[in-house]
Structure 1
Amino acid sequence: MNKPMVRIKGSYLVRPCEATWVGTMALSEWDQIDCLTHVPVIFFYRPANTWLSPPSAIADTLKHSLSRALVPFYPLAGRLQWIGNGRLQLQCNAMGAQFIEAECDSSLDELCDSSLSFQPNSLFPSIDYSLPIHEIPVCFAQLIKFKCGGIGIALAFSHAVVDGPAAIHMVYEWARLARGEPLQTPPFLDRSVFRAGQPPLTSPPPSLDDYPEYKNPPLLLGQMDNSEERKKKTTMAMLRITKSQVEQLRKMANDNKPIMARGFTRFETICGYIWRIACKARGLKKKQPTVSAISVDSRNCMRPQLPREYFGNANFNVTAQSVVGDLTSKPLGFAASKVREAIEKVTSEYVRSSIELLKNQKDLTKFQDINKEEGAFYGNPNIEIVSWLTLPLYGFDFGWGKEQYMGLGSHGTEGNFVLLPGIEGDGSVIVAMCLQEAHMNAFKKHFYGDIISTTIGLRAAL
């Protein structure tokens, strides 16, 4: 498919329609590490022909309802500000979210007709990161009108302000307001729950040696840095596995577990499977150390438990560690067990201690943005997995029906995987991924080939 031509028709700042709290919102240490850029998603709709009368109705509805949504979700109308030593704060100043109107010469059928692919960046708001950070909105929305009469709503939220669950919560409430319904559940805006203790929670303070997720991940054997790996061309893909195939993998992972042991979950199994397949596709040596960074939502882990509506970053990256030879030669349950070990570390005490550790760092720069040379890098021989499997990603009705398709922008870096539920709600899983171009075909071959081999083996056992 050719790159769609997108023409910008107008760009506006949408401010809260009522007065909101104005002041400085302190960010937790978690808000200020890893990715500080915007995460893009897009929803495609095929409304009835009547929505075009009058032509401006859809844009006016979205802008008006967004201005209402920014009242309870006022942090998204603010601006980030550097305060030194790699640290940020959020100025809640009602500057507004950026709303863009655009037209595209492509049709919806060309973009999402039963295909699994990342959507072209031209469909998403263009964000100029060369500007000072205090000039960049933390929330962007782009309305795209296609030649077929369909529309797209492309969104981009600053990851320094919200994580996936928080962003989805805002979109859900925005859609309700657009339909003329009242706000259902306001956001929980108190970020002090993720602030380091005063006085310190532990004595002596925690050490970096106790937190592998904050250490630089292993390099390829024989390399002194990852600069050469960063230069290699990458490509993206979205692979679908059916509910039946997921269950086959779980059967394989649980085959050799002790009788009374808890079975591996869907998430643990898929994470372990992706990790071992990535090792195979990259052709790594058996002695090569490798890590899988796994994003865990800590809302349920905290004591007292956080409300689901916590509006900030509650996702915590932990790392599973192994060597390639063990991952590829041992049963799948071995890889799944390594994933479980990492996830089970995420307790309320571990979370608070890790925040204490970050608070004691003189400068947070080295922990920020995996695209930076000095930051963490989960590319070859490592991976990073984010799960959106439990998020309500579908069914966003702004007043003209539910979306036909939901897709991602190409925001990932090499070795990044995002797990999505199938849009049909049939238990299937979509694996959105970014790998070096040289490894993608091998990954696809092993990814599906090993599932087929497992199926044949299970049938033979029966």
Structure 2
Amino acid sequence: MEEVRIVSVQMVAPAEPPNPSSFRESIKLTLYDRAMRFALYQKRILFYNPVEPSSIDCHIQSLKGSLAQALVSFYPLAGRLSSSSLEIDCSTLSVQFTEAVTDATLGDLAIRPSKPTLTLRFHTRFFLDQVTRFVDGGISVAIAFSHQVCDGVSGWHFFNSWAQIARDGVLRNPPVVSYEVEEQDMELEEAFEVAASIGYKVKKSASSPRDLSKPRESISSSSMPQLDVRLFRLDQSHISELKSRCLEETRASFSSYEVVCAYFWTLTARHRGLRPDQEAAIAILFDSRGRFAKVPEFYLGNAIATAIVSARVEDLTSKGIGYAAGLLHDAIVSMDEKKNQAQLKFMYHVMETGFITEMEIDPASFSLVVSSPRHPVYETDFGFGRPAGVTFGTNDLSDGKIYLFPSPAGNRGVEVSVVLHPE
């Protein structure tokens, strides 16, 4: 793989001061945000087909200008973490914009996860981006953002809004930067009991307390475990076939998300060579916006609920994907605001005490589904065409992680990347 060379690093500030009627110099982190304190920074990289070489400089200037315009509304991304680590300080606003070049072509990449080129030296910065020119005229636009300031839904909302401004000069759906959160009045013991009922079964570790003075940094490439990433492309006919199998097995209908997650849950259980009597668990994420009270549709922040589902490997492999889809469906529909608040309170307490708790389920049998085929990935057109492909950073890969993205063909298909140990 050809080397990526950094040619310019600049700080980009909002093009004008944010609207004073809605601007907040200090934004309190919600329980959602605080629960993400030790989540690694998220990277998403979009690749674009070659453009005329003479137009690249113009496109990059447009990217910088539209980024400055987008930050007027999305200004919390340009803020800093306060010294208390409980607030976003928006008194000084800017983000890092990096230009890079490579002698590689888009074809050399084959749109696969590659060694990260964003140098992330994190302390209080929330957001960085990098634009890379390929030798054949291709362009990649990458963002990295702290999970403490926003989730994937907000990340793609920003990415897509930035592109709208670059392409059309307008922002159609401005973000809501804060809302009044009503946290449940719940004793810690009750929170742990409720969290246990939705899969958060843990035991306290003898490990030393975490250092809570700074956010968790990315794992260096040299210390990362050896992992394989396999890409699967499911078109609408494949997904319809999975739904038909589930209907035949259970006489119940399930969503595309449920059947795809169920299929890869059973697939990874088989691949890992687990014992038939062993428990295999999967964590699935879903958006709380519009589901729970008072979480606005375009809220900028974290609003992701998590459900953990477990089943015996023997049942997963013998009862069919309809059985697995039914378990996932039940977990999703039964998630309410009380359960969601309980899991967040549980997670935050674990981090605030400084001790890592260990899941009773073996990590070697655990899977985590991230991203979503509903994200507007291929609508992110900056004015030089729709993306040709999307990938993610390698800084937070883990065994059993499953990434879902929409198909570039736009046929309601799904691209699935599965991360597993090679053996």
| Fold shared, TM-score > 0.5 on shorter chain | yes
1:363-415: CA deviation from partner (whole Å, max 9, x where unpaired) = 1655xxxxxx6576984111111241111111222122222222222232111
Greater shift after overlay, 205-214 or 159-168?
205-214
* Partner residue in 1 for 2:217: none
Cα pair 1:358 1:364 within 8 Å, conserved: no
Greater shift after overlay, 141-150 or 240-249?
240-249
| Deviation of the 1:30 alpha carbon | 1.6
Q: Structure 1: which 5+ runs fail to align? A: 219-223, 367-372, 439-462
| Deviation of the 1:338 alpha carbon | 1.3
Question: What aligned pairs does 1:34-433 form with structure 2 within 5 A after superposition?
Answer: 34=36, 36-49=39-52, 52-53=54-55, 56-81=57-82, 83=84, 88-112=86-110, 117-122=112-117, 125-129=118-122, 133-134=123-124, 137-193=125-181, 195-197=182-184, 200=185, 202=186, 206-212=190-196, 215=200, 233-258=226-251, 262-304=252-294, 306-355=295-344, 363=352, 365-366=354-355, 379-410=363-394, 411-433=396-418
Cα pair 1:27 1:191 within 8 Å, conserved: no
Q: Structure 2: which 5+ runs fail to align? A: 208-222
| Deviation of the 1:436 alpha carbon | 0.7
Tell me the secondary structure at the aligned position of residue 241 of structure 2. Answer: helix
CA distance in 1, matches of 2:176, 2:390: 26
Tell me the secondary structure at the aligned position of residue 383 of structure 2. Answer: coil
Cα pair 1:196 1:359 within 8 Å, conserved: no
Q: Which amino acid counterpart does residue 253 of structure 1 have in structure 2?
A: C
1:274-322: CA deviation from partner (whole Å, max 9, x where unpaired) = 1111111111111112211111111132135x33211111111110111
| Deviation of the 1:329 alpha carbon | 1.6
Match of 1:30 among 26, 32, 51: 32
CA distance in 2, matches of 1:186, 1:266: 29
* Partner residue in 1 for 2:220: none
Cα pair 2:45 2:392 within 8 Å, conserved: yes
Task: Return closer, same or farther for 1:214/1:5 CA change in 2, 3 Å cut-off.
Answer: same
Aligned-residue identity in percent: 27
1:10-39: CA deviation from partner (whole Å, max 9, x where unpaired) = 101111122234532111122122453221
Aligned-residue Cα RMSD (Å) equals 2.8
1:164-194: CA deviation from partner (whole Å, max 9, x where unpaired) = 111111112211222352221110112433x
Tell me the secondary structure at the aligned position of residue 142 of structure 1. Answer: strand
* Partner residue in 1 for 2:15: 17
> What number of residue pairs does the alignment pair up?
398
Give the TM-score taking structure 1 as reference length.
0.79
Task: Return closer, same or farther for 1:360/1:402 CA change in 2, 3 Å cut-off.
Answer: closer
* Partner residue in 1 for 2:213: none
